[in-house]
Structure 1
């Protein structure tokens, strides 16, 4: 498959675009999503796998020149999260990798072409009319270096591997059930770390009252994000 012919681009919130490449070869189907915040200082959340870089690059170019990218952020060190990091940094000379302080210390400071921009819990980046804030989330769902970004003006939470849905969704943004499919997949793969602070971390995220959840795999979701995050906390606590 040539992913460049399959990758979809959809605006899921004001100035925020979901870039989604299907992976039908994975049993049951799967998708890999990145999110582009188009602004004065554009930000990309997730890079995709290294081999997906041509598709991601082409999708970004439909919104803005890739050279304008200012920040390349991701939740934690994993190939689908940051596999194409250096390709993006090479294509965008002003871009900085954005990650947690733990991530910068343990891995990104060594593997990135340029020194990263580590963010502490609650630290913000002004992109223009958008502003993002970092949430430390160690081991939720996995990875000591794990964290998330929320975009404050649209109340969009870039929630990484939370609510990972199998299959290839024909819709970029849904309002129906995503917890059921994601929990069914988690029951098969058990990719959560089951850390002691999982409920407290999810409760903190719920306190931000997100209206859009930008999921890394499957459709993005719109609705009462606080309620859904608390339902996820209940489900994880019950396993």
Structure 2
């Protein structure tokens, strides 16, 4: 394995580690994002076992010890397994997450106290304004949330739009169809009444770029992609409810 570096936006770097043994032959990518500013932010800490590769990649872009913020979609090994490794090498870094994630997991599991972010709170990292948005159970996890770079209009989607393969870092091709195909393999979405409205609220941000944790990031009509995904979730939920006995 190796970690590939691609700039997908102004001072936004995708750090992608491809694992071919997951759902072969397509394989699966684990993507982390470094957002550079006066106070650099890492979205997804990644697995502990990948830390040496990913930290080496970060060191090619900036001194690792200058990392200031660490955040992620929800408490799960591929998203935050290495958070304490990052805290150990970056003495001024702090984990930042929503209230549920901090109270349920991070106050105990992080080696330094995390910063609790209110829904809609903005962190100024110097040159970029990063907004935290609670998305409980979307696509899964009670503590789920996403971040939005208001400066570049980049939505960091976490596990939304997860798809297989080792495609380009940034694509204009359809990501909704591949995401639904992956859903049919993993069944990773909490299919409930809140998911489609939550995804539509993300579309209302009018992002230009969707930064995906698993698969190619997307540039193009991101609003339409989000609305199409919400519509697909609505359709699937209706189909499931139709099968429930009265």
TM bucket, shorter chain = over 0.9
Which residue of 2 is the match for residue 115 of structure 1?
Answer: 113
Q: Tell me, in whole angstroms, the C-alpha distance in 2 between the residues paired with 1:17 and 1:129.
A: 15
Q: Structure 1, residues 5-53: CA drift from partner, whole Å, max 9, x if none?
A: x210010000000000000111230010000001100000001111000
Q: Structure 1, residues 50-98: CA drift from partner, whole Å, max 9, x if none?
A: 1000011011101100100000000101100001000000010000001
Q: Tell me, in whole angstroms, the C-alpha distance in 2 between the residues paired with 1:89 and 1:186.
A: 33
Cα displacement (A) at 1:195:
2.5
Q: Structure 1, residues 160-217: CA drift from partner, whole Å, max 9, x if none?
A: 0000010111x11001011111110101221111122112211110010111100001
Q: Tell me, in whole angstroms, the C-alpha distance in 2 between the residues paired with 1:184 and 1:74.
A: 24
Cα displacement (A) at 1:126:
0.1
3-state SS, counterpart of residue 157 of structure 2: strand
**2:115 is aligned with 1:150:** no
Q: TM-score, normalised by structure 1?
A: 0.96
- How big is the alpha-carbon RMSD for the aligned residues of Structure 1 and Structure 2? 0.8
Q: Tell me, in whole angstroms, the C-alpha distance in 2 between the residues paired with 1:193 and 1:199.
A: 11
Which residue of 2 is the match for residue 60 of structure 1?
Answer: 58
Q: Tell me, in whole angstroms, the C-alpha distance in 2 between the residues paired with 1:86 and 1:140.
A: 25
Structure 2 regions of 5+ residues with no counterpart? 237-246
Q: Is the 8 A contact 2:175 2:225 kept in 1?
A: no
Instruction: Describe how 1:144-223 pairs up with structure 2 within 5 A.
Output: 144-169=142-167, 171-223=168-220
Which structure would you say has the larger Rg? 2
Q: Tell me, in whole angstroms, the C-alpha distance in 2 between the residues paired with 1:195 and 1:145.
A: 16
3-state SS, counterpart of residue 238 of structure 1: helix
Equivalenced residue count is 234
Instruction: Describe how 1:91-130 pairs up with structure 2 within 5 A.
Output: 91-130=89-128
Q: Tell me, in whole angstroms, the C-alpha distance in 2 between the residues paired with 1:85 and 1:234.
A: 35
Which residue of 2 is the match for residue 13 of structure 1?
Answer: 9
Q: Tell me, in whole angstroms, the C-alpha distance in 1 between the residues paired with 2:79 and 2:233.
A: 23
Structure 1 regions of 5+ residues with no counterpart? none
3-state SS, counterpart of residue 42 of structure 2: strand
Q: Tell me, in whole angstroms, the C-alpha distance in 2 between the residues paired with 1:60 and 1:214.
A: 17
